[in-house]
A and B are shown apart, each in its own frame.
Chain A
């Protein structure tokens, strides 16, 4: 019993997520400080929930209208990014790869396999999907990311999004050509 209690005491704090003393947004609150925000973020050892949600909203919507963490959480919740993540979130706690994966799956419209089709987006399976796409190489849902890793993740999402849109355009162009050929043939 004593051994179990000791183990629990030892493991308990180890399971807690790391926190940052001050999020990058507190240091660069102005909307026009976005370059400074990204530059300083690159050198951060850990990315907080607040900074991560801000960056994701910037990527998705172009700007972040919320003035506080509650606002960002509301937007994230509305977009379905918090599926499978225990809430409420601590703004200064490190963001989990799982949360980022769900957000990534939503942004890219990844359908996933049977499990995701039936049970919806989950941190576990979204992480696997993004692993497979090379967007989050070799990471697991509970890990935290450094600033540079997070920026790499954002860049990879953007690259993939661009690629998907190019594919869509190509498909549309092909379909249009096929239709035009068919019409020409009919005539």
Chain B
């Protein structure tokens, strides 16, 4: 018995000793050999003291990889550079040249020299331009990119701000920066700094750039790609699920927390300093003051954004599984909408509606008292039944609503697809055909009909809330024109169709007709 106890004690002591060894000695060995972590940080780097440090270290590693791509070309050799959309908000369009057609901008779109960009109200676009710059184009602006060229050891970039504001950040990446900003009233040359250019009725003005916001957008953009970074060190598109990453790394070497930018911060001019060298001497003093004010204000307001994103990155680095990484990326995407100051309070889908007719665009239906809504649903159905073979519809309709609806879609949205409209109408007819005659038409029936219409609008004009609303308006107005002479004044066609309903004799939820 005593022997057994001593044996167990010996085993326990061995296990404890092993555990102690594992906890203390192994990390020390790992530190000595540099094999400190499994997620891809190169060997021989010191152990990061915190997760924030880990993220910074990881980004620096990526930066080093990317910077290797920034090498001077042989003299006389040129290479065309690209601009990549990192963030687009609101109504933003671009085209490749004066003759090309405009298209909506989306993340990862790639632009070449000659691209033209326009932004609407409460909209913004952030681009990584060439190898060394980030541009944040503000709302209601018109900006062109006439020149993006890697020429020998020089990065030639020209940005034309025809109207509005563009915040520009130029990094020093080891090549000569030949970055110029052209406005209708002058041209500016940038060596390596950040500033904002505004061109408006009062000429060109230089203001402090919203660098923190650009940094936040950059960090966010890189964070969305981090899953791929974490999954391997390769940057060739053949090894990655997302082929834009290779292009990204080629055009966008250093993210915000890189040493090039730290160098900029250390020795580049401030926005105020930039103002001294580039503005009209008459307005110089005023603009310098404005630049300082703006710089302070921007710093004060947006400094928290970068911190927030660093925290997010930390969480990303902590995430163990791919699912968690994807979840965090989704959260980040939601956050950027909230954090980066351009919320569109009127965005479709954010508000909650009690009923389908309360949706924007269905105003005519919403105005109809509930007790008459059933009759309207019935009339919509009877209007679509043009076949006199339907026994239950002795007074066939003349397909007026679809006709008017198509007409309005063409006029207001330049949309024409009779087959799609007919398909939607067929759904309504199918619903009506399956309706129990004995039940009579109710509010619920109109709800179903309008849901069919709403689904059609949402699927046809997906992603464009304005067009969706106009589509609903087209249908509402088509119904109103087909059935009414004035508010709650049904016309003879409505009365004619209602004879089917009254013929059914089952009664609905009330009658508009006297």
Chain B 318-352 near chain A by CB (<8 Å), digits 1 or 0: 00000000000000000000000111101000000
| B201-A148 in contact (CB<8A) | yes
| B200-A148 in contact (CB<8A) | yes
Is A27 among interface residues, defined by CB-CB distance under 8 A? no
Q: Which A residues are CB-close (under 8 A) to B121? A: 58-59, 62, 154, 158
Q: Which B residues are CB-close (under 8 A) to A30? A: 412
Is A34 among interface residues, defined by CB-CB distance under 8 A? yes
Q: Which B residues are CB-close (under 8 A) to A163? A: 297, 301
| B413-A32 in contact (CB<8A) | yes
Smallest Cβ-Cβ distance to B342: which chain A residue: A162
Is A170 among interface residues, defined by CB-CB distance under 8 A? yes
Is A155 among interface residues, defined by CB-CB distance under 8 A? yes
Smallest Cβ-Cβ distance to B302: which chain A residue: A166
| B202-A152 in contact (CB<8A) | yes
The one of A31, A38, A148, A152 that contacts B470, using a Cβ cutoff of 8 Å: A31
| A151-B200 in contact (CB<8A) | yes
For the complex, give the distance between the alpha carbons of A130 and B118 in Å.
27
Q: State whether A152 and B301 are in contact (beta carbons under 8 Å apart), knowing that A42-B163, A62-B344 are contacts in the complex.
A: no
In this complex, how many residues of chain A approach chain B with their Cβ under 8 Å: the count is: 29
Is B391 among interface residues, defined by CB-CB distance under 8 A? no
Is A39 among interface residues, defined by CB-CB distance under 8 A? yes
Is A149 among interface residues, defined by CB-CB distance under 8 A? yes
Is B165 among interface residues, defined by CB-CB distance under 8 A? yes
For the complex, give the distance between the alpha carbons of A150 and B477 in Å.
34
| B120-A35 in contact (CB<8A) | yes
| B301-A63 in contact (CB<8A) | no
Q: How close is A36's CB to chain B, nearest CB, in angstroms? A: 10
Q: State whether A34 and B120 are in contact (beta carbons under 8 Å apart), knowing that A146-B201, A158-B139 are contacts in the complex.
A: yes
| B346-A62 in contact (CB<8A) | yes
| B165-A167 in contact (CB<8A) | no
Is A78 among interface residues, defined by CB-CB distance under 8 A? no
Q: State whether A166 and B163 are in contact (beta carbons under 8 Å apart), knowing that A38-B140, A154-B140 are contacts in the complex.
A: no
Smallest Cβ-Cβ distance to B348: which chain A residue: A62
| B467-490 residues at the A interface, CB under 8 angstroms | 467, 469-470
For the complex, give the distance between the alpha carbons of A107 and B38 in Å.
54
Q: Which A residues are CB-close (under 8 A) to B407? A: none
Q: Which B residues are CB-close (under 8 A) to A45? A: none
| B140-A151 in contact (CB<8A) | yes
| A162-B201 in contact (CB<8A) | no
Q: How close is B359's CB to chain A, nearest CB, in angstroms? A: 14
| B301-A166 in contact (CB<8A) | yes
For the complex, give the distance between the alpha carbons of A59 and B91 in Å.
13
| A31-B301 in contact (CB<8A) | no
The one of A35, A152, A162 that contacts B118, using a Cβ cutoff of 8 Å: A35
| B83-141 residues at the A interface, CB under 8 angstroms | 91, 93, 102, 118, 120-122, 138-140
Q: State whether A173 and B346 are in contact (beta carbons under 8 Å apart), knowing that A30-B412, A166-B341 are contacts in the complex.
A: no
| A155-B140 in contact (CB<8A) | yes
Chain B 298-315 near chain A by CB (<8 Å), digits 1 or 0: 001110100000000000
| B120-A32 in contact (CB<8A) | no
| B158-200 residues at the A interface, CB under 8 angstroms | 163-165, 200
Q: Which A residues are CB-close (under 8 A) to B466? A: 31-32, 62-63
Additional 13 contacts, C-beta under 8 A, given A34-B91, A62-B346, A151-B140:
A31-B470, A32-B413, A32-B467, A35-B102, A35-B118, A38-B140, A62-B121, A63-B466, A63-B469, A155-B139, A155-B165, A163-B297, A170-B304
Could you pull out 29 A-B pairs where Cβ atoms are within 8 angstroms?
A30-B412, A31-B470, A32-B413, A32-B414, A32-B467, A34-B91, A35-B93, A35-B120, A38-B140, A39-B118, A39-B142, A58-B121, A62-B122, A62-B346, A62-B466, A63-B466, A63-B469, A148-B163, A151-B163, A152-B202, A154-B121, A155-B165, A155-B200, A158-B122, A158-B139, A162-B341, A162-B342, A170-B300, A173-B304
Chain A positions near chain B (C-beta within 8 angstroms): 30-32, 34-35, 38-39, 42, 58-59, 61-63, 137, 146, 148-149, 151-152, 154-155, 158, 162-163, 165-167, 170, 173
Please name the 8 residue pairs, one residue from A and one from B, whose CB atoms are nearest each other, closest first.
A152-B200, A148-B201, A62-B346, A149-B201, A152-B201, A166-B301, A162-B341, A155-B140
